[in-house]
Amino acid sequence: MKKVKALVITGYGINCEEEMAAVYNLAGANAEIVHLNDIFLGKCSIHNYDILNFPGGFSFGDDLGSGKVLSNKMKFKKLKSRKLFFDDIKDFLNEGKFILGVCNGFQFLVKMGLLPNVNCVLEQEVTLTGNNSGKFEDRWVHIKVNENSKTPFLKGIDKIFLPVRHGEGKLIIKNERIKKLIIRKKLNCLSYCDKEGDETSEYPMNPNGSDLNCAGLTNETGHIFGLMPHPEAFLSLYNHPNWSQLKRQNPDVSEDGEGLKIFRNIVEFIYRKDAKNAKKTSP
């Protein structure tokens, strides 16, 4: 069985690509970091990969709002073939493949209209803007998983502890109708919560004041997943801010970081899907 292939986009101020590639490699996939220009110039095709990843960073310095410039570039830029890159992304999804966006990558996805896309017209329905605190938030938060979420990225996870690093992480939903559809379709897959797992709007447990206390969204199929916290930044126990005490209290504690589970989930899901398809086509 061939290895799952993860494409990790970089360039224009994205700066979390190495962590993203590292966690995929730990999860059993083959990860490749590619500059977005190499895709635009036809040197690399997204269709050679199973998962397209938009990592965190500060694309174009967040000068016109986080992720806005690069999302427009990706939505309207033509490839060497003269095909719009955005149309190539749609074709990629139609092949049953997956997209992950973290932090700045989540901002790309919502501003391109890929998330939550409740109206199925790929137009922007939500935005991510300045935190209620008025400052950059660099802290660890508890996040509750919506038990009805459809995305395989979150299978078997109830609650997770991850770092946030953002100045514009507050999710604002365009109107009440879209908000109701997000809730009804269970696309608000992650919510900020307290240590006990109870959803909260209280700062700093909710670091930005998002509508629905939302920390992440999926589309209806669950194939597109975006979140503000950084799962790739907790790939080892030793990333935890209090790892030494955890280790003393329980010497047998797992040395895997909680974020690694998200990547193992999607890699294992694709392996199982490919195995099932191979079995169907075998003589």
Is residue 69 within 8 A of residue 60, CB to CB? The reply is yes
193 catalytically annotated: no
pLDDT bucket at 85, cuts 50 / 70 / 90: very high
Q: What is the pLDDT of residue 282?
A: 64
**Which residue in 16, 17, 19, 103 is the catalytic one?**
103
Q: What is the pLDDT of residue 276?
A: 84
Range 195-211 burial, b when 16+ CB lie within 10 A, else e: eeeebbeeeebbbbbbb
Instruction: Provide the 3-class DSSP secondary structure of residue 168.
Output: coil
> Residue 40 corresponds to which tokens in the numbers above?
């635009």
- Percent of the residues in the chain that have a pLDDT greater than 70, as a whole number: 98
Is residue 143 within 8 A of residue 162, CB to CB? The reply is yes
| Model confidence at 61: pLDDT above 80 | no
189 catalytically annotated: no
- Over residues 41-62, the mean pLDDT reads 93
- In order of their start, the domains of the chain are 5-281 (3.40.50.880)
Q: What is the pLDDT of residue 283?
A: 66
Is residue 6 within 8 A of residue 29, CB to CB? The reply is yes
Is residue 69 within 8 A of residue 63, CB to CB? The reply is yes
Q: What is the pLDDT of residue 103?
A: 97
103 catalytically annotated: yes
| Model confidence at 204: pLDDT above 70 | yes
Q: What is the pLDDT of residue 143?
A: 98
| Model confidence at 280: pLDDT above 80 | no
Sign of CA dihedral 90, 157, 243, 169: positive
Q: What is the pLDDT of residue 218?
A: 98
- Over residues 8-25, the mean pLDDT reads 96
> Residue 212 corresponds to which tokens in the numbers above?
């629905």
At 104-132, the pLDDT tens digits run 999 999 999 999 999 999 999 999 999 99
**Which residue in 168, 230, 240, 258 is the catalytic one?**
230
- What angle in degrees, to the nearest 10, is found between the helix axes of 17-26 and 260-281? 60
Tell me how far apart the alpha carbons of residues 227 and 132 are, in angstroms, rounded to a whole number. Answer: 18
| Model confidence at 93: pLDDT above 70 | yes
For the entire predicted model, the pTM comes to 0.96
- Over residues 4-19, the mean pLDDT reads 96
| Model confidence at 138: pLDDT above 90 | yes
**Which residue in 17, 125, 168, 232 is the catalytic one?**
232
At 170-187, the pLDDT tens digits run 999 999 999 999 999 999
